[in-house]
Structure formats: structure tokens, C-alpha cells
Amino acid sequence: MPELPEVEVTRRGFADRLAGARVLGVELGKPLRWPLGVDPRSLVDRAVKVVTRRGKYLLIHLDEGLLLLHLGMSGSLQFAERLPPRDVHDHFELDTTRGRLRLHDPRRFGAVVYADTLDAPVARKLLGGLGVEPLEAGFDPHRFHAALQQRRASIKQVLLAGDIVVGVGNIYASEALFMAGIRPTLRADRVSRPRALRLHAAIVQVLQKALALGGSTLRDFSSAQGESGYFQLDAMVYGREGQPCRVCGSPIKGIRQGQRSTFYCPQCQKR
């Protein structure tokens, strides 16, 4: 699933070029996770103001209303002046005066939803429960620790929940916990203040590195220019079960937590 770095890499790949464009048409393929919520013809002639991101949602702000776009499990966006003919897995296309934006999603877990404003019920439903952005000033280390003290679930599961800090997906949670030296099965309320501060710093560092490397491409993620990410090649623990730890040489262990794969070093990451 594309996580925060992949979504931000995607946004950066087309946001500046799309801003200022005027909508010429909207084409829909097979139904996605949620309906668009508006007649596609009503979007024609609206202007794109800016493209922002909230968690793993891309927000295409129009001069009237906005589109909330989620890549789902396997979605990717392309943006170009001209694109090849749509295929069976191309389910949304925004034709504008500056090019075409196309959502390709083989599993159809993605979504494009229209909202009148950010205060509209559908926008509040999708965005209202999201935590702070980890790469913005609001991600305070002391508030982060205080929030962890209220949770009894494992620290890995709390990070993935996204209501304390948003966008720390499976890959990046495993990597940040390794960097901070914390076992992923440790209960969140048992993470001490010094360790929480190290984890806070590790989250920021891991996500910044992922952005610099274009995100992670494990299966089919590609940027809006069709480029793959390379973070996974530098991963310390993720996807490395049985391989030696790059720090201590101990075999990396793999477990399942909440139906997700977790990887950690039993020597470097303490309970």
C-alpha cells in the first residue's frame, strides 16, 4: 500500500503543473471504493487552485469544491500532456488544460471523492480522525509521548492506527522502531519518555529519507512520472527476515501483528 512518502512523492510529481489548470472533462471507469459523489459533468470548467496532502489523501482544491483522492492498496497516478488509451484498470481521469491525471488501480481499493468544502460531512468522515503530520511542526515529541501513555496496544499497532501520528505505515514503522531500539511488541504505555523522544526523531528521519529516495516500490508503486522508489533497498529490517542485522549480525525476525508483517532485530530492539 502506498504510504505517506509515496503519496507525497506522487503529489510533488504533478502538483505544480496541475495548479492553475482548468478542467475539460472527467472520465470514470469501474466503480471504486466510494462513489465520486457528484455528476462528473459538473466539474467541467472548474479551475485547479492547489494540490495538498493530508495523511495518505491527496486533496485537489478547485475554485469550487475539492477532490479527495486515495491510492488504496495498489493505485498509482500518472500525469502528462498525453497518455495512452485507458485500459481496464484505469478508473478515473481528469482532463485539464495542462494535461491528464489518471488513476490506475488494479484492485480498486482507491477512491476519488468530491466534497463541497473541508467541513463537508464526507471530508470530515475521511480526514477527521487523522493524527498530526509527522513532517510538520505540530508533531511535538512531548505530546507524542503523552499520547502513547494512553494506549495499551503494542507500539507498532499504535503507530499504524494513524490517530496519534498519521502516515507512519508498515514499512516505516518497522524501520523507525529499529532506529529507536524499541521492540515492536512493547506496549505503547510502557515506552519511556527518553525512548519516545528517540522514536519521534526516528520517525521523522526515516520518512525524510524515504522521501529523498522516492518512497518504496515493493510491487507496483510508481510516481506520477512512472519512476520507482528505492527506500526498500536500504531497509534495515523490513523484508529481511532471516538475514543478518546490518548492525549486530543477529538474524532478523519476522512476526505477524494485526494481519501485517513486522520485522525486528531481537538484539538491537529491546522490550
In the set 22, 98, 187, 260, the catalytic residue is 260
- Please give the Cα distance from 178 to 206 (Å, whole number): 10
Mean pLDDT of the chain: 91
In the set 2, 5, 134, 184, the catalytic residue is 2
Lowest mean pLDDT across 77-91, 154-168, 225-239 = 225-239
User: Checking DSSP bridges between strand 90-96 and strand 48-54, what pairing results, if any?
Assistant: unpaired
Phi, psi of 207 (to 5 degrees): -70, -40
Q: From start to end of 39-109, where are the E strands?
A: 48-54, 57-62, 66-70, 76-80, 90-96, 99-104
Q: Please indicate whether residue 100 is annotated as part of the active site.
A: no
Q: Is the pLDDT of residue 132 over 50?
A: yes
pLDDT at 1: 64
In the set 11, 56, 108, 195, the catalytic residue is 56
pTM above 0.85, yes or no: yes
Exposed, middle or buried, 177 (CB in 10 Å: 0-12/13-18/19+)? buried
Q: Is the pLDDT of residue 64 over 90?
A: yes
> Are 226 and 217 in contact, with CB atoms under 8 Å apart?
no
Coil/strand/helix, residue 254: strand
Q: What is the pLDDT confidence band of residue 212, given thresholds at 50, 70 and 90? A: confident
Q: Please indicate whether residue 3 is annotated as part of the active site.
A: yes
Q: Is the pLDDT of residue 232 over 90?
A: no
- Please give the Cα distance from 211 to 27 (Å, whole number): 31
Q: Please indicate whether residue 56 is annotated as part of the active site.
A: yes
pLDDT at 139: 97
- Please give the Cα distance from 167 to 183 (Å, whole number): 20
Q: Please indicate whether residue 143 is annotated as part of the active site.
A: no
Asked whether the CA dihedral 88, 108, 130, 1 is positive or negative, the reply is negative
pLDDT at 234: 79
- Please give the Cα distance from 73 to 106 (Å, whole number): 9
Residue 242 Cα distances to 109, 156, 184, 263, angstroms:
32, 20, 17, 10
- Please give the Cα distance from 13 to 6 (Å, whole number): 11
Structural domains in the chain, sorted by start: 4-127 (3.20.190.10), 141-264 (1.10.8.50)
Q: Closest by alpha carbon to 34, among 77, 82, 91?
A: 91
Q: Is the pLDDT of residue 141 over 80?
A: yes
